[in-house]
Amino acid sequence: MGTDNRKGILYAAFTASMWGFMAIVLKVITYELSPVTVVWFRFFSAFILLGVWTLIFRRNDFGIFRRPPYQLLLAALFLALNYLGFITGIKYVSPSSSQIFIQIAPVSFALSGIIIFREHVSWKHIVGFIGVLSGIGLFYSEQLGELAGGADHFTLGMLLVLGGGLSWAVFATLQKGLVRKVHPNQLNLFIYGLCALGLAPLVKFSSFQGMPALTWILLFYLGLNTVLAYGSLALAIKLTEATRVSVIITLNPIITFVTMAILTRMNVPWIEPESFSMMSVLGALTVLGGAILVISAGWKKR
């Protein structure tokens, strides 16, 4: 394996770890702030960080704001819906559960190639997709059976996260077409800026007054997470095969599961503990296995 491949794998693993921990941080911060406020701060801080970097190294990239393609406007809309759906859903489900349901995102993106990019589908894609849907159904039914109450909230959370995942698939499909003619830095810069501007009227800015220092740290972590995770993902795809990167990224729920198991064992007071039956774990593994099968099967043009 060459040096570039090793670097690509490391960048992909870093992205997976960032996203694995992010679900836990989002769960904690929703105790203090509304989902819209958190999402706005993520986009705003990411825009500032990336904007400063662009101002120093790629000043011409700001030209994208003059005449953005309409597909870029749609991409920004669906990424905002993805962020809002995921964080709103995570208020009602656990971090590990949200990471299972969100796997519909990369699978839906992979399957979009059949319809939009006219790519060939094999038996592996069909089996993997059935595995994802079956695993989600098994995991959901087991979680409902274990809930003493709050089943309606859990269902709402699941639907919100699934909706966020499907929104991400639409965003990624649009981005796949845009990246052929627009530099990725321009795409991210415009999307972060537009989303921050569009969500600003819905933000409760009074929530920031008297906010604890720890909440500020978590907010800045989320903004930094957004920039670093997507930046590392771009480098990973540049240095190694996109399929290999996608499989590594799909494994990020394992990081969430392991971390939540440790926190539950430590009985920390700042996040609700998690417990899963063997059937729930089997459902989760079926979802991950199906997602990996769909992504790793590869695509061929018709």
- For 22, 98, 174, the CA distances from 259, given in Å and listed in that order, are 11, 14, 33
Per residue in 84-117, pLDDT tens?
Answer: 999 999 989 889 889 889 988 888 877 776 667 6
Per residue in 254-301, pLDDT tens?
Answer: 888 888 888 888 888 888 888 778 888 898 889 888 888 877 765 444
What pLDDT was estimated at residue 301? 46
Distance CA 189, CA 194 (A): 9
What pLDDT was estimated at residue 65? 93
Which residue would you say has higher pLDDT here, 152 or 1?
152
Average pLDDT over every residue of 178-206? 90
Distance CA 20, CA 14 (A): 10
User: Which of 179, 236, 199 has the alpha carbon at shortest distance from 47?
Assistant: 199
Per residue in 15-58, pLDDT tens?
Answer: 888 988 999 999 999 888 999 999 999 999 999 999 999 999 99
Q: Decide if 168 contacts 79 (C-beta within 8 A).
A: yes
Q: Decide if 222 contacts 41 (C-beta within 8 A).
A: yes
Residue percentage of the chain with pLDDT more than 90: 32
Distance CA 44, CA 181 (A): 25
Please, what is the average pLDDT of the chain?
Answer: 85
Q: Hey, where are the domains in the chain?
A: 3-301
- pTM across the whole model: 0.86
Which residue would you say has higher pLDDT here, 243 or 92?
92
